Amino acid sequence: MLRNSGRGLIACIIATLLATTEASALPSVFRNTSPRATKLSAEQVGKELIPTLSTTAAVYTSGDPRWANATARWQTWNYPNVQLVIEPGSEADVPKIVKYANSYNVPFYTRATGHGSTKTLGKFTGIEISMTQLRGMTILPGEKTALLQGGVFGKEVIQFMWDRGFMTGTGSCGCVSLLGPGLGGGHGRMQGRHGLILDHFVQLNVVLADGSTTTVSEKSNPDLFWAMRGAGHNFGIVTSFEHKIFPRDGDLWYSKIYTFNSTKLEAFHTALNELAKKQIPEIINWSIYLLDPSVSTTEPVIHWAFEYIGGDANLAKPYLAPFEALKPINSVEQLLTYPQIPVAEGTHAEGSLCEKGDQRMQMNAGLKQYNVTAQRQIFELYKKNIFYDPAIQGSVIVMEGYSIQGVTAVDPASTAYALRDDDLLCAAIIRYHPNPKLDAFAIKWASDTRNIWNAGQPTRKLTTYTNYGFGDESLESQYGYEPWRLTKLRALKKKFDPKNKFSYYNGIN
């Protein structure tokens, strides 16, 4: 949908999106009070449920050509056991689907783009609610916020906003949804200026575990709004949300990408620590250890991407002087539009980082700064392990160094997201085609890397960015060590999801 300033039209749109289904009770033909789960067939659902939904709604199983795309996942190890897929054609379909699943006591979960990687998803067996048709975007009157549906993802949101003169918070990879990362935090390129994705939420339209619908904001269900921003996967299905938007700042971004050999590792990370002390909101940087055959087939390298919002190279270059002095192997300098940045830096929706179908053992740690000794240990472990098997050579160590001013400007107690003092987001991603013989090796490698990061900051408690979690981490490391946080989350869980229907994504228990 294009921008429209007519208040009458917008009122109709919002009224439609917020419509509940209380007046459309389930037909008695498929009311089922059995306490035992039932495996439903597509034929049965097609007969009983689909006629009550919007005209584009669909149900299908593994024999359907849509199945592979609907169930493909970024992490194929311990993935959800989907029995059938239901695609709602409108937001009003979602509560009907939830009530239908509940009437047969069949579990359900929601999928946007399939990038959840935690092993806790492997506990799921049941109905996937695919949000693929719910991709509407509307800039609202006043042009301060936009109404986005639950299936939107980074690439399309970035382009949509940019084309209309705006920007908003998304993840850095163009393939991931907004709600997937946003409900658990939402790091990204905009956070130095405007905070995490969850800090952009103004209002969420939510389907609860019993199929009822509610509006969640600072004024409506404020406690649930608090919980949804940081632990939202545990509380409901967001069918649409009002999201803050901002005028785009200039037409171009400045980008420079460097490659260093490992002899510069200590000096490189020391320079990064110094950069962090003076890093302004307009600066984004991230680094990666990888095997780059175009540089060397025997020695991993350090790849570093630097971005400056606004495109003024003269303002950006003073920050780069220490890195230029390290004499990189090579560098690439460009002026790009914001939608071009993910493509240039390999985080676009069609890039290798976004490819589905592989196994990725991912474990992460939050840091205040780099421990240079620990970084050397991690690199040497990477150098040793990357040649264990050719199939594993797509593995990477990623360190994200976004600006933090917009994140730390928000009161940590105001949302369920508890990790606002993590300045660096670091992850080991051990990648290979599905092969059970490599699983134990990959898990140990990722775990050893995580342990080195954490040992390098012995005075800090371990933190886990839940969106990058492996599924073996403590709840405290994800949702906060202050006792009141989990106490509050558990009380809200008991209130809004007493039967623990939403339990598959690093669940609160």
DSSP state of 457: S
How many helices and strands (H and E) does the chain possess?
Answer: 16, 18
Neighbours of 434 (CB within 10 A): 12
Nearest CA-CA partner of 46 in 27, 34, 60: 60
Neighbours of 38 (CB within 10 A): 13
Residue pLDDT, tens place only, 229-272? 999 999 999 999 999 999 998 899 999 999 999 999 999 999 99
CA distance 89 to 235: 22
- Cα 214 to Cα 9, 21, 299, 313, 371: the distances in Å are 22, 11, 55, 47, 46
The structural domains of the chain, ordered by start, are: 25-130 (3.30.465.10), 137-248 (3.30.465.10), 252-336 (3.30.70.1380)
CA distance 428 to 446: 5
> Residue 39's pLDDT is what?
84
Helix (H) or strand (E) holding 35: none
Nearest CA-CA partner of 343 in 283, 428, 253: 253
Asked if residues 264 and 326 have their Cβ atoms less than 8 Å apart, the reply is: yes
> Residue 249's pLDDT is what?
85
Amino acid at 17: L
> Residue 33's pLDDT is what?
41
Name the 3-class secondary structure at 258: strand
pTM above 0.85, yes or no: yes
In three state form, how does the secondary structure of 348-404 look? CCCCHHHCCCCEEEEEEEEECCCCHHHHHHHHHHHHHHCCCCHHHCCCEEEEECCCC
Angle between helices 436-455 and 372-385 (to 10 degrees): 170
Tokens of 415: 């949302």
DSSP state of 175: T
- Residue 455, phi then psi, degrees to nearest 5: -65, -25
Nearest CA-CA partner of 310 in 359, 248, 224, 268: 248
* Chain centroid to CA 365: 16
**Calculated CA dihedral for residues 79, 80, 83, 88, nearest 10 degrees:** -120
Residues 6+ apart with CB under 8 A from 462: 365, 454, 473, 474, 477
DSSP state of 497: -
Residue tagged 């992850």 (tokens): 427
Residues 6+ apart with CB under 8 A from 306: 255, 256, 257, 258, 283, 284, 285, 316, 319, 320, 323
> Residue 250's pLDDT is what?
85
For the chain, list residues with pLDDT below 50. Answer: 1-35
